[in-house]
A and B are shown apart, each in its own frame.
Chain A
């Protein structure tokens, strides 16, 4: 049994909040540069230049890449040999978020009541923590701040087996097409297939975290679907910020899970080109 103090978690979370919001992951930047080499629209080229330049400024000056520093979402793998001591687990994540967003000059974007008061909580809490208990005595925390603009373009649809892979592809294309410039393309397309209503939504979000960006699904059928979807999405012509171009998506990642004999749920979650995420192991 290994003990981890909540104070350590708080410090790690606080640092993660800042670093993920200042530094664009290298694999994302690499994909943007590769896309730029193939881009035909001069206006789109100029936008991709701005994206690359923005990364340089944010990194050098320690500034948020995007003013929307997101809902703080954490995916945690908690080793079953670990005991958390010295305080409340969820509160440790909230406190780390509170400190990181304050010290890092990150925007506080959370309102207390989704419908009526909608008063800003002023410290970006509560955060959302998805915890999975795994073997071992490590604590792995992945932080992915998610902006509202891209999150608003997500959808879950309860397809059935009769729709097959073609039905899934139609749905994904339709979702990206309807989203246009709103989710800040070039986007990363996360697709969750299988499980149930809530599981496929989780899979779609986890699909956004696959590293390095553009790594194909290990199953050749889904890898083929990912490649076809990427090509079809880029043929939509939406382009960076929806102003026309050949670069609409940087990657399509499909994650799957077994499902019920009667169902084939599918979820699509888009990430903006500021595809922030960072992991740390305690």
Chain B
């Protein structure tokens, strides 16, 4: 089954462009490569506060993909510890302003608010769902990791990851599609 999914997967490389994103539709299996940034609750609050004050950010948001994750510490010889997605809805309030400033994609788990869905449509963005709780597996696609901001936040610090074939699925596309709604409709009795 995994093999079949893999052969059908679309390979994407960051930073993402409008052209990349327009082709994506919900349910597409993605293997993502390139630089992505980690960020969750506390880091989002700080980035959002800077944007509100018009101050510069510690990362470049243009075409950026932010992965909602707080990884486990890396064992010796590993670039990163286990690193699966955290629940995305907690970041919903920060999304509109971040996308207004160039962010294009986010990776997490769980469904998003109507406001986020509208933001994705307006700014041509994408929400990619990764599988929660398969953190040792996902960590295999991370090739390098460096902390770039907010080290005091520990697992919540912003990290720059270089990933190769990070497995995820298009959950919300720029055409207004929502895999959470469609998927459930298909299998409910």
Contact = CB atoms under 8 A, between A and B. Distances in A.
Interface residues of A, number: 54
Interface in A91-129: 105-109, 118, 120, 122
A67 B156 CA distance: 12
B72 A64 contact: yes
B183 A239 contact: yes
B23 interface: no
B132 A149 contact: yes
25 contacts: A43-B169, A51-B134, A53-B134, A54-B134, A57-B137, A63-B139, A64-B135, A66-B84, A66-B132, A66-B135, A67-B83, A68-B84, A68-B135, A107-B81, A120-B156, A182-B111, A239-B184, A239-B187, A241-B110, A241-B131, A243-B169, A243-B180, A244-B180, A245-B187, A273-B133
B87 interface: yes
A62 B127 CA distance: 31
B123 to A, nearest CB: 23
Contact of A235 (B74, B154, B188): B188
A265 interface: no
Interface of A: 40-47, 49-51, 53-54, 57-58, 61-69, 105-109, 118, 120, 122, 148-149, 152, 180-182, 184, 235-246, 272-274
B183 A67 contact: no
The secondary-structure label for the interface of chain B is mixed
B186 interface: yes
A280 to B, nearest CB: 23
Contacts of A237: 183-189
A118 B129 CA distance: 28
A120 B42 CA distance: 11
A224 B166 CA distance: 43
A210 B74 CA distance: 33
B133 A64 contact: no
Contact of A65 (B133, B154, B171): B133
